[in-house]
Amino acid sequence: MSDSDPAPSLYAAHEPIFPRRVSGPFRNLKWYIMAVTLGIYYLTPWIRWDRGPALPDQAVLLDLANRRFYFFWIEIWPHEFYFVAGLLIMAGLGLFLFTSALGRVWCGYTCPQTVWTDLFILVERWIEGDRNARLRLHRQKKLDFRKARLRVTKWVVWLLIGLATGGAWVFYFADAPTLLRDLLTGQAHPVAYTTMAILTGTTFLFGGFAREQICIYACPWPRIQAAMMDEDTLTVGYREWRGEPRGKPRKTDEPGLVHGDCIDCMACVNVCPMGIDIRDGQQMECITCALCIDACDDVMERIGKPRGLIDYMALSDEANERAGHPPQNIWKHILRPRTILYTALWGSVGLALLFALFIRSDIELTVAPVRNPTFVTLSDGSIRNTYDVRLRNKTGEPRPFELSIKGEPAMQLELEGVDGTIVTVPADTSFLQRVYIVAPKTAEAASARSTPVRIWVADLDNGERAYKDTSFNGRGAGQ
Ligand code: SF4
Ligand code: SF4
- Sequential DSSP letters for 139-191: H--S--HHHHHHHHHHHHHHHHHHHHHHHHHHHTTS-HHHHHHHHHTT-S-HH
pLDDT of amino acid 376: 95
Atom of ligand 1 nearest to the CA of 275: 6
Residue 93: Cβ within 10 Å count: 20
Instruction: Ligand 2, residue 310: give the atom nearest the CA.
Output: 7
Asked whether 274 lines ligand 1 (CB < 6 A), one says: yes
Q: What is the pTM of this model?
A: 0.85
Q: Is the CB of 117 under 6 A from ligand 1?
A: no
Of 105, 114, 236, 282, the residue with max ligand 1 atoms within 8 A of its CB, to mutate for a pocket test, comes to 236
Counting ligands in written order, which one lies closest to the CA of residue 305? 2
Atom 8 of ligand 2, residue of closest alpha carbon: 262
What pLDDT is recorded for position 222?
84
Closest C-alpha to ligand 1, atom 7: 272
Q: DSSP class of residue 75? A: E
Ligand 2 neighbourhood includes 262 CB (under 6 angstroms): yes
Angle, CA 459 vertex, CA 458 and CA 465 arms, to 5°: 45
Which bound ligand lies closest to the C-alpha atom of 290? Answer: 1
Say if ligand 2 is within 6 A of residue 313 CB: no
Ligand in closest contact with the CA of 276: 1
Give the model's pLDDT for residue 130: 96
Please state, in angstroms and rounded to a whole number, the distance separating the CA atoms of residues 467 and 365: 7
Given a contact cutoff of 8 angstroms between Cβ atoms, the answer to whether 446 and 474 are in contact is: yes
For residues 225 and 281, what is the distance between their CA atoms, to the nearest angstrom? 17
| Percentage helix, strand, coil for the chain under 3-state DSSP, each rounded to 5 | 45, 20, 35
pLDDT tens for the chain, 479 residues long, are 556 666 777 777 778 999 999 999 999 999 999 999 999 999 999 999 998 888 899 999 999 988 899 999 999 998 888 999 999 999 999 999 999 999 999 999 999 999 999 999 999 999 999 999 999 999 999 999 999 999 999 999 999 999 999 999 999 999 999 999 999 999 999 999 999 999 999 999 999 999 999 999 999 888 888 888 889 999 999 999 999 999 887 877 777 788 899 999 999 999 999 999 999 998 889 999 999 999 999 999 999 999 999 999 998 888 888 888 888 888 889 999 999 999 999 999 999 999 999 888 889 999 999 988 999 999 999 999 999 999 999 888 899 999 999 878 889 999 999 999 999 999 988 899 999 999 999 999 999 999 999 999 999 998 999 999 999 999 987 76
**φ, ψ dihedrals at 401, nearest 5°:** -110, 130
Cα 129 to middle of ligand 1, angstroms? 21
d(CA 391, ligand 2 centre) in Å: 68
Atom of ligand 1 nearest to the CA of 271: 7
As a whole number of angstroms, the longest Cα–Cα distance in the chain is 118
Tell how far the Cα of 280 is from the centroid of ligand 2, in angstroms. Answer: 12
Ligand 2 midpoint to CA 16 (Å): 22
- The span from the CA of 330 to the CA of 117, in Å, is 30
- For 363, left (φ over 0), alpha (ψ -120 to 50), or beta? beta
Is the CB of residue 278 below 6 angstroms from any atom belonging to ligand 2? no
User: Is 472 within 8 Å of 450 (Cβ atoms)?
Assistant: yes
Cα-to-centroid distance, 250 and ligand 2 (Å): 17
Give yes or no for residue 288 CB within 6 A of ligand 1: yes
> Which residues have a Cβ under 8 Å from the Cβ of 88 and sit 6 or more positions away?
none
Q: How far is the CA of 299 from the centre of ligand 2 (A)?
A: 7
Helix 145-171 and helix 25-43: axis angle, to 10°? 60
Q: Is the CB of 433 under 6 A from ligand 1?
A: no
State if residue 299 touches ligand 2 by the CB under 6 angstroms criterion.
yes
- Burial code (b: 16+ CB inside 10 Å, e: under 16) for 208-217 equals bebbbebbbe
Q: Quick one: CA dihedral 38, 39, 42, 48, positive or negative?
A: negative
Counting atoms of ligand 1 from 1, which one is nearest the CA of 236? Answer: 3
pLDDT, position 326: 83
* pLDDT value, residue 473: 94
The upper half-sphere exposure of residue 188, i.e. CA atoms within 13 Å in the direction of its Cβ, equals 23
Ligand nearest to C-alpha 17 = 1
Cα–Cα nearest to 429, from 459, 465, 462, 399: 399
- Measure the CA–CA gap between 409 and 299, rounded to whole angstroms: 88
The reported pLDDT for the residue numbered 14 is 79
Instruction: Calculate ∠ Cα 96-43-163, nearest 5°.
Output: 95
276 ligand 1 Cβ < 6 A: yes
